[in-house]
Structures are given as C-alpha cells and as structure tokens.
Amino acid sequence: MHILKYESDVFNLCSPSNFRKSGIVKGSKKAIDLIHKYGSMIGRKIQMRDSEKAILHILSTLPFYQGGEHPTLIIGADNFLPQEARIYSPYSPLDTKSIQPQAPEWHGVFKNVLVIGTKQKQETAYFLALALKCAAQGGCVIMALENDWGGKTLDKLFKAAGLPFQTESKHKSRVVWTVSPQNATPEVIDKWMTDGGVHQRADGQWTQAGIFSWEKADRGTSVFLKYFEASLKGNGADFGCGCGDISKTILERNREISMLHILDIDSRSVQCATRNLNAYKDKINPICCNIVLDALPKNLDFIVMNPPFHTGKDQKFTLGQAFITQAVQSLKKGGFVGVVANVHLPYEQIMRQNFSKVETIATEDGFKVITAQK
C-alpha cells in the first residue's frame, strides 16, 4: 500500500514507514488536511505535470481556499482528485465524478474551481471560461500552466476577463487566482466559449480546440491518404481517429467496409468524428478509450492509424510502438495495417517482428507510409 505525503511543496508517493519517518505529522495542519483530501491518489502511480505540482502548492498556502465540504470542480486534470470533487477532463469521460460543465445546471455551483491550462491558447481560454461560469459568487478560481506552454499569458487572460487577480510562480509554472469570478465580463467569456467550443474547420470538418489537427487537416494524414490505396473491406478500426479525417476518406473509397471502429482517448475527438461521419452512422462504432491500456475490438480485418508520439511535452516513440503492438492483438490472421508516421520514428523493426510482410510505400514531406500484413 502507498499513501501520499506533502513535502517540499511536492506531493510524492511513499511507503507508510517513510511517511512516519518523514515527520509530516508535525507539519502544518493545512498540509496534513490536503493529504487526507487528496486520498484518491493512494495506490496510484502518477506522473504529475509541473502545473499540477504548482497548484497543489498554492492550495497549501491560500488562507481563503474553501476545501472540506465545499464543492470543488477540477478542469483539465485528473492526476489529483479530491475525493469529493467533480471533474471535467476530455480524457476521463466515463469517470463517475465527471460532469459536462457546459450544461447550465452546473453554472454558479462550485466554491472552488481548479484549472490546468494547455499549450493551446484557445483551449486554455475555454477552460477558464468554463471555470468562471461554474464558480459560485465569491468562489475561488485557480489556474496554473507551465511557463514554456504560455504560463505567463495567464495574467493577460484574467485581465482580459476584467478580473482582479493574484499570481505566484512555482515549479516552472504560473499560478493565477481570483475570488471574484462574478466580475468576469460576459462578452469575453462568451467569445472564449465560442472560440474553444465545437465548430467547423475551413474544410467543413467539425472540430474543437485542443483535439488533434483541430485547426486544419494534418499533413501526415494528407500524405497517408494520397498514397494509401489498399482495398479495404469487412470489420476495421481507426486507432487515434482524431476528428475522423482518415475514417471519412476510407469509408468514401471502400463501400465494402461493414464496420469501422473509431477509437480515441479524447472524448471530444470521438464526438467530432461521429458528427463528421454521420453519413456512415450505420457503419461506425465510436469508442473513447486508452488504446494502449484498454480492451480493444478483436478479429479485425484492417486497422489504419496516425499514431501520436508525444506525451505532454515529451516525444515518446514508444507510444506509437504500443499502438502497433495493440494492432497486432486486434487483427485476425491475414489482417492488414496502414500506418503514417514521421520518417525518424523507428516503427519498422517492431512491425517486422510482428507482421509477415512490411513495406514502406511512400515517403514525402517528412512522413512515411508503412503497410503490413499479419
């Protein structure tokens, strides 16, 4: 068993014996209260973002933060969850504590709203707009973002919203907070909601700020669709479907596809893809899931994918390799996979280890298209 301790402004996992040795029981009551408050992290292996560490530090120092029985909403993070909190994260849509803060019934409800921003400006502004709408009058709204993701621009957001605010820097992140959410300028908040909400790209695809390729079609996807001419039929899947760009084209080209499972970890992507594929609603099965960790459809005839290779700030080609490994498990014998990736990503070796025939069919604009048969 593991428990959580607060030490040197960082929450860490430690054994019960280390917890006793740490002397934390002699520490501040606020720190000890926070340990109990964040007890949902017990037993979890976590890798917290710097902004999450920073916001936890602030919670231990603000005299007006109203924890305990007061309702708390957390937006944009699921690495730290007070046991009584509600959450909004596009990556935890099935959590029993999850809500849709766009819904009017949640507006003006929460005494505390904690927000973790993103590297997308429109998405960050949208998260702040949701926070301000959901905050009760006189509630506490706290937002954090890493400096190299634009943390220093949070001050400008709060100022643009017409809010009095305070700031602090910690863990290479900026933390900004206000206790006057009711003073936010309605016109500004409504604009942020519109800009960050579901809308159509210039090419007509439904999208939303923060999902993959939300502003325009991804170049890698375009290269894939240019050179991938395989005839597909039967039961297949799009691993990491985004807003459905690849799915839409292969369904248009291949009328013998009987079912296409569209999978993505981002619930917004799945929702947008479903909307973009409405013409094929009888042939698609939308699934919001973690492709690396969750159970996936089996016995598939084909899989297409433009796998991610970033986790937060870090480039991790192992993520794409994990997608390929999962594809091996999901395909039937003789099944077919098509992959597009940056040319420098080392996917060929793992594909040769698991597939009988592997071929790079095209290389263009820094991307490669690889096909393989199980």
53/10 same-domain check = no
> What is the predicted pLDDT for the residue at 79?
65
Residue 18 has pLDDT above 90, yes or no: no
Residues 6 or more apart whose CB falls under 8 angstroms from that of 157 comprise 124, 125, 128, 143, 176
For the four alpha carbons of 34, 36, 38 and 44, in that order, the dihedral sign comes to positive
Per the prediction, the chain carries an average pLDDT of: 85
In the predicted structure, residue 16 carries a pLDDT above the cut 80: no
Neighbour count for residue 40 (Cβ, 10 Å)? 15
**Of 31-45, 88-102, 104-118, 146-160, which gets the smallest average pLDDT?**
31-45
**What is residue 58's predicted lDDT score, i.e. its pLDDT?**
86
Q: Quick one: 277 and 170 in the same domain?
A: no
Closest to 337 measured CA to CA, from 345, 329, 327, 346: 327
- Dist. CA 49–CA 11, nearest whole Å: 11
Same domain flag for 189 and 322: no
Per-residue pLDDT at 337: 97
- Residue ending a domain, among 179, 196, 213, is 196
Residue with tokens 């790079």: 360
**CATH code for position 228:** 3.40.50.150
pLDDT band at residue 57, thresholds of 50, 70 and 90?
A: confident
Measured distance CA(195)–CA(208) in Å, rounded: 9
Residue 166 in this model has a pLDDT that exceeds 90: yes
**Token representation of residue 227:** 């050179």
**Listed residue (282, 210, 276, 211) closest to 249, CA to CA:** 276
Cα separation, 46 vs 339, whole angstroms:
30
The predicted structure's pLDDT at residue 99: 84
Confidence of residue 116 (pLDDT cuts 50, 70, 90): very high
Give tens-digit pLDDT for 318-364: 889 999 999 999 999 999 999 999 999 989 999 999 999 999 999 99
Q: How confident is the model at residue 285 (pLDDT cuts 50, 70, 90)?
A: very high
pLDDT at 91: 85
Do both 211 and 238 map to the same domain?
yes
pLDDT at 316: 59
For the chain, where are the alpha helices, taking DSSP H only? 16-21, 29-37, 50-59, 121-134, 154-160, 186-196, 219-227, 245-253, 267-276, 317-330, 348-354
Q: What is the Cα–Cα distance from 278 to 280, expressed in whole angstroms?
A: 5
Same domain for 154 and 22, yes or no, is: no
**The pLDDT value given to residue 144:** 97
How many Cβ atoms sit within 10 Å of the Cβ of residue 156? Answer: 11
Q: What is the token pair recorded at 108? A: 């003006």
On the question of pLDDT at 36 being above 60, the answer is: no
Are 65 and 191 members of one domain? yes
pLDDT tens string 186-242: 999 999 999 999 999 999 999 999 999 999 999 999 999 999 999 999 999 999 999
Predicted confidence at residue 62, as pLDDT, reads: 79
Residue 152 and residue 79 share a domain: yes
pLDDT band of 176, cuts 50, 70, 90: very high
- In single-letter form, the type of residue at position 305 comes to M
Q: What's the pLDDT at 244?
A: 97
Q: In terms of domains, do 230 and 336 share one?
A: yes
What value does the mean pLDDT take over residues 176-185? 96
165, 196, 227: which is the final residue of a domain? Answer: 196
Answer yes or no: are the C-beta atoms of 319 and 311 closer than 8 Å: yes
| Whether residue 6 has pLDDT greater than 80 | no
Q: Which residues fall within 8 angstroms of residue 326, CB to CB, at 6 or more apart?
A: 239, 291, 292, 296
Q: Within this chain, do residues 173 and 214 fall inside the same structural domain, yes or no?
A: no
Euclidean distance between CA atoms 88 and 116, whole angstroms:
11
Count of domains for the chain = 3
- Return the closest-CA partner of residue 251 out of 260, 243, 261, 262: 260
- CB 238 within 8 Å of CB 305: yes
Query: What range does the domain containing 13 cover?
Result: 1-46
| Pairing relationship of beta strands 135-146 and 110-116 according to DSSP bridges | parallel
pLDDT, position 94: 62
Last residue of a domain, one of 196, 225, 243: 196
Per DSSP, the chain holds a count of helices (H) and strands (E) of: 11, 19
